[in-house]
Structure 1
């Protein structure tokens, strides 16, 4: 198999070239053997397509996105046909988020980011978690239950600090640059009024932030915001933030049921607890 990968690398197969171990990074084989689920997926262009005509389609899509009322069906078709070129840009070149937004603006539209993602504690071991549950006791709607589960998840998982990933601000008072300072990837939740609480009572806007830059906004629900964030992380090939890596893994493995058999011991243990409580 290793010999086969060497042959693919010599032939210029994009996926093998991108996953190739950098020279001097370690001893041994120069072609990295990817672990299951780790490979940076980068397919070859579709038969009959070339980088040149995919670039033409990308420019058509970019122009369409500048219209006040873009043709979403056309954009969707162009996004599908340029997928291999987009993955090459994202995985191979690893551009800055502002450059990626400029080249592929449709990627950061809600219809493209979320596709089909949408979501689903236990009482007061920690004060922040208790505050969330106290807020839920005052207003127990389904929407707030989902928000409580998502906001409480990193508080329940020992050792996680969501402060660099999930932040709240006053929609009318805070300066966005200050609120986003230090955020590499996460959610900025803009609330109405100064008393935000552990669960915002009135959400003015939820924004997805990457590298201190808002890439998606005008999301009116915390749970949809999480779905959009998961979509952005996948679309632009980001790693889960270290401060909440188990929370994101839980959403992937347990909630979304993507490769659930590959869950870490901590996530597997939490899943078993939920099964015992029949949640």
Structure 2
């Protein structure tokens, strides 16, 4: 197995080739060892897959343009959208992993990626799991015990949720979101009083990334968190700092993705759930 990765790289395996050419810390030129090395960190089975057989970047780019044209229709046809999203998956992953484009670029080039069903499908393409089912099954399974724990630590949990979610009126324009790097907006109707109860019963919810509303009219907060987690995988995003441990809990405990070893506070919470 000593030269396995070398052989994979020479055969054109992008998952390995993405790290080709990295130099050691004592090399005369180049970057220090381990700097900017790209690797799967969250249990991705298809981190950077090769293009489908018989397709190259040019032909997949043509399929992407066809996909954009379909999405511009008043009622896009779901079947061809799914087929083209499946076909262009490798091209999309190459973009988000290699280029790390701005969210505005991704919305322009891949509008179908911001549809709820396609977020779940993209998550399945990346890790091979049903995000919606496993997320809500996990929440249902642990909810009774989680409620008990949250009641004991309501102050800390409340602060974290406030950092992730922000309240706004539905008449606000997009300029009011510029300061939000990643989060969920709880939207109340114009003229209504904003209150803590709005977190449970908002008029609607929006997901904001890099100051852009990428999804709106989401029914409830659990669904919004689930979709935001899926977008973190689909767009190759880091977890929001204020909720890093919460997202790691979703990843490692609810979905059993990535390494099994948990950080101390996550292991403590898992142990408490099993009491």
TM-score (norm 1): 0.76
* Aligned residue among 162, 171, 181 for 1:184: 181
Name 2:264's counterpart in structure 1. 265
Q: Is the 8 A contact 2:43 2:257 kept in 1?
A: no
Q: Displacement of 1:112 after TM fit?
A: 0.3
Q: State the distance in 1 between where 2:255 and 2:197 align.
A: 25
Give runs of aligned pairs for residues 1-279 of structure 1, distance below 5 A: 1=1, 3-10=3-10, 12-20=12-20, 24-27=30-33, 34=39, 37=42, 41-115=47-121, 116=130, 117=132, 118-119=135-136, 120=139, 121=147, 122=149, 124-125=151-152, 129=154, 155=157, 161-172=160-171, 174-178=172-176, 180-192=177-189, 193-200=192-199, 202-259=201-258, 261-276=260-275
Q: Displacement of 1:89 after TM fit?
A: 1.1
Q: Displacement of 1:198 after TM fit?
A: 4.9
Q: Displacement of 1:256 after TM fit?
A: 2.6
Q: Is the 8 A contact 2:201 2:220 kept in 1?
A: no
Name 1:134's counterpart in structure 2. none
- Higher RCO (CA < 8 A, seq sep 6+): 2
Q: How many residues align?
A: 245
Q: State the distance in 1 between where 2:99 and 2:15 align.
A: 13
Q: Displacement of 1:125 after TM fit?
A: 4.6
The DSSP-based 3-state class of the residue aligned with 1:261 is coil
Q: Displacement of 1:161 after TM fit?
A: 3.8
- Runs ≥4 residues deviating over 4 A: 20-23, 29-40, 123-126
Q: State the distance in 1 between where 2:269 and 2:21 align.
A: 34
Q: Is the 8 A contact 1:57 1:82 kept in 2?
A: yes
Deviations 1:65-118 (A, max 9, x none): 000011011100110111111111111111111111111110111110134424
Name 2:27's counterpart in structure 1. none
For structure 1, the residue ranges without an aligned partner over 5 or more in a row are 131-153
